Structure 1
């Protein structure tokens, strides 16, 4: 017997979905009696298994995470910015999860569908009206106000003929409050054009921060905080995280989005105690031994620039 191989109990079930391994329980998989999984586990028909004894299922391994979470929770809980509704609906149909199909239809009723791109490169994103109206004078507020006809497809999604390869960065900004995925310098320049087209002025400020921090790589430590009282907060840093003092890491956890630039979400409760640039400066002055230089930009949110040197 291979001692390194994990031992599964009678209630523990391993699934190999498109090459990704999931470990769950029989109780979770049989939660919906008429589903694919209930039939698979309760019937006498033999099922294919891999060398480790996991059930082999030839479906999309990435999207299956959402299917399994639904069966675990009994409700639809999707990550922010999730856009693969069409694929998830296909998986719900394949696995005979009628409850998931109903939940997806209800979610679609509360969301706005946007089809971005042209032809075969078009992708559909589902977003809340609240996220789309983050900036009050933007392209999206005009789109939703109903003042003039706007093109839609057969599924009633708004159709926008723009660069689909960059639109997920626009979604990140609208939903999560910043540029939070890896982006190249050339894509950052193209994203600035998209921000201008969609009239997202604060997104342009985020792009400006990322560009500035890339230029400052290797010099002083800069941190740019974007604080919004009624929305998500993010921070950007121009140094590697190992160069940050532990006191700074209490405020935010950064993830690399490009050469020498890190970005991360900040807990609004943490940021709420900083009512101005001066209060941020006071925090850094007491938490670090470095000198602090501050500047502040006010708009529909506040950008606070911290320079430690």
Structure 2
């Protein structure tokens, strides 16, 4: 019995080993090679399989490596899932459906307002209400006539919930005063990190009013640092944006500043992995606002950034663990 098998799949010829084809117990190939399924052969003795010959390349590569590796721009995932189902390759089918799910567009009808987002975004709060929508629990949830999931909540406030899941930052208008309503929505959707940020912003607003001077503002040196799905986020509760920029003065990737309610500044960034073995000339502001200089290694992780801040005499007030993706640290000078 030859160890190499010829396959004629939709007119395309493939050759591979019997070991590769039978590596998944119970698959179509086990059945065909063991006589469980009758099969015709062409003139060269190749097994005739009336399926998509081009897609079969990815089926065979998966059997060889046990990894789903697809070319950039591949857009036939639905067809590949169908072929995996036909060949009774359940593990491959699950992987393809998982990839499909990440890019799947989800429609939400929240209090009459329509939103569209991705499955990946909704899963960023894995224990929350929205993650349940894209799990098996969502199969029995009500939908509107267009197939959007119907959620009987405040449609106007939901934009801030959804934008937080997208950005990792709570971006609110400067004149915002609906904190209690937003707290209620965050509690319903099961996103505790939003509740913590709302609470901090409320406390900052009260402190700001108490300490307001002639110009109506008293800077408070207090900020949050946390990691959110591959990005670092800092909330700086000070009206002095330059203080935040000076503190995080090292080179970053995809750095973005946003101003939120009460003049709170949000910095979103990723570290530059190409610089992790290099030294860093770090300038940081002291309590008097003067710049200090220190040579450090470029930070590789969240803990490295925390160590830098502690060196600069910033103290952790508390840390709150929100699960695998996020621990929020509150600092003050």
- The TM-score range, normalised by the shorter chain, is 0.5 to 0.7
Q: Classify 1:235/1:302 alpha carbon distance in 2 versus 1 (closer, same or farther; 3 Å).
A: same
Distance 1:151 1:245 in 2: 46
Larger Rg: 2
Number of aligned residues: 194
Distance 1:137 1:244 in 2: 32
Cα deviation, residue 219, structure 1: 5.2
Q: Classify 1:132/1:188 alpha carbon distance in 2 versus 1 (closer, same or farther; 3 Å).
A: same
Distance 1:248 1:153 in 2: 46
What corresponds to 1:23 in structure 2?
Answer: none
- After superposition, give the CA deviation of every residue in 1:53-112 in whole Å (9 maximum; x if it has no partner): xxxxxxxxxxxxxxxxxxxxxx9xxxxxxxxxxxxxxxxxxxxxxxxxxxxxx99x8211
Structure 1 residues without counterparts, runs of 5 or longer: 1-74, 76-105
What corresponds to 1:305 in structure 2?
Answer: 330
Is 1:115–1:124's contact at 8 Å kept on the other side of the alignment? yes
Structure 2 counterpart of 1:164, from 148, 155, 160:
155
Q: Secondary structure at the match of 1:156?
A: coil
Q: Classify 1:155/1:212 alpha carbon distance in 2 versus 1 (closer, same or farther; 3 Å).
A: same
Q: Classify 1:264/1:212 alpha carbon distance in 2 versus 1 (closer, same or farther; 3 Å).
A: farther
What corresponds to 1:34 in structure 2?
Answer: none
Structure 2 counterpart of 1:292, from 311, 314, 318:
314
- After superposition, give the CA deviation of every residue in 1:252-295 in whole Å (9 maximum; x if it has no partner): 6543211232223222558973333xx33431355x5xx32113
Structure 1 counterpart of 2:136, from 139, 146, 152:
146
Q: Secondary structure at the match of 2:260?
A: strand
Is 2:224–2:236's contact at 8 Å kept on the other side of the alignment? yes
Q: Classify 1:142/1:115 alpha carbon distance in 2 versus 1 (closer, same or farther; 3 Å).
A: same
1:155 aligns with 2:146: yes
What corresponds to 1:222 in structure 2?
Answer: 222
Cα deviation, residue 177, structure 1: 1.1
Distance 1:210 1:285 in 2: 23
Alpha-carbon RMSD = 3.1
What corresponds to 1:128 in structure 2?
Answer: 118
Q: Classify 1:272/1:114 alpha carbon distance in 2 versus 1 (closer, same or farther; 3 Å).
A: farther
Distance 1:142 1:155 in 2: 20
Q: Classify 1:253/1:157 alpha carbon distance in 2 versus 1 (closer, same or farther; 3 Å).
A: closer
TM-score (norm 2): 0.51
Q: Classify 1:244/1:299 alpha carbon distance in 2 versus 1 (closer, same or farther; 3 Å).
A: closer
Q: After TM superposition, where is structure 1 displaced by more than 4 Å over at least 4 residues in a row?
A: 249-253, 268-272
Cα deviation, residue 299, structure 1: 2.2
Higher RCO structure, 1 or 2 (CA under 8 Å, sep 6+): 1
Is 1:112–1:157's contact at 8 Å kept on the other side of the alignment? yes
Is 1:213–1:261's contact at 8 Å kept on the other side of the alignment? no
Structure 2 residues without counterparts, runs of 5 or longer: 1-72, 74-99, 209-217, 274-297
Point out the structure with the larger strand share: 2
Alignment of 1:29-44 (within 5 A): none
